[in-house]
Amino acid sequence: MTAHRFDNRDLARIAMFTAILAVFSFIRIPVGPVPVTMQTLAVMLAGTVLGPWLGALSVLLLLALVLIGLPLLGGNGGFAVFVGPTAGYLLGFVIGALIVGLIAHSGHHMTWWKTAIACICGGMLIPYICGVPVTAVILGQSLSNTAWSVLAFVPGDLAKIVLATLITSALWKAYPAAFPASLREHRIQQA
């Protein structure tokens, strides 16, 4: 296993997606204890564009900034965010970006269908798997009731998957420099 060294471009990409995650978290539609945000779209894009490790690091950087008190999650910050009903989703975002990146960047080139599958698995399912049980425990609800309550979010998440797939596909065609060098090298070899 080789160690990955981050260059300035990698650091800039991580910072850019951390900012995108923060901005998208301010786009909120209140629906019960867990609001609908565009943050999951940003998580999907972090994984599809940056890849597994840089995508996950961009989410971790955001969470570190929130932990020290910066109000970057829709105006919320500090330790309380990590013990509230959305805490499990935050963990799911880190794991989700990693999974999205692993699936989307597998093989030698990007495809729309691989991007869509990556977003379904890592961008939608993983946050639910991590978030629903934590929400149930914190709110004192049964797991089944909490699981049923997230069905209201599925149509929005499916729309975000379509958006992430379209944005990633368009970016891959129009500006491949946005993607990691290793993926671009495979693209050049394919041409």
CB-based contacts of 74, cutoff 8 Å, min separation 6: 25, 26, 28, 35, 37
189: pLDDT strictly greater than 90 = no
Provide the angle, in degrees to the nearest 10, between the axes of the packed helices 126-139 and 87-104.
170
CA distances from 81 to 23, 26, 45, 53, 149 (A): 17, 15, 23, 24, 21
Residue written as token pair 């935050």: 90
- pLDDT value at position 43? 98
**For residue 188, is pLDDT > 60?**
no
The percent of residues above 90 in pLDDT, for the chain, comes to 74
Asked if residue 24 has pLDDT above 90, the reply is yes
The residue among 189 and 70 whose pLDDT is bigger is 70
Q: Tell me, rounded to whole angstroms, the distance of Cα 31 from its chain centroid.
A: 20
Write down the pLDDT at residue 152. 86
pLDDT above 70: percentage of residues in the chain? 91
**pLDDT tier at 190, thresholds 50, 70, 90:** very low
Mean pLDDT of 169-190: 76
Q: With 0-12 CB in 10 A as exposed, 13-18 as middle and 19+ as buried, what is 160?
A: buried
Question: Domain 8-190 is in which class?
Answer: mainly alpha
Average pLDDT over residues 173-183: 85
Looking at residue 48, its pLDDT comes to: 97
Which 3 state secondary structure label does DSSP give 28? strand
Which pair of structure tokens corresponds to residue 113?
Answer: 């269908």
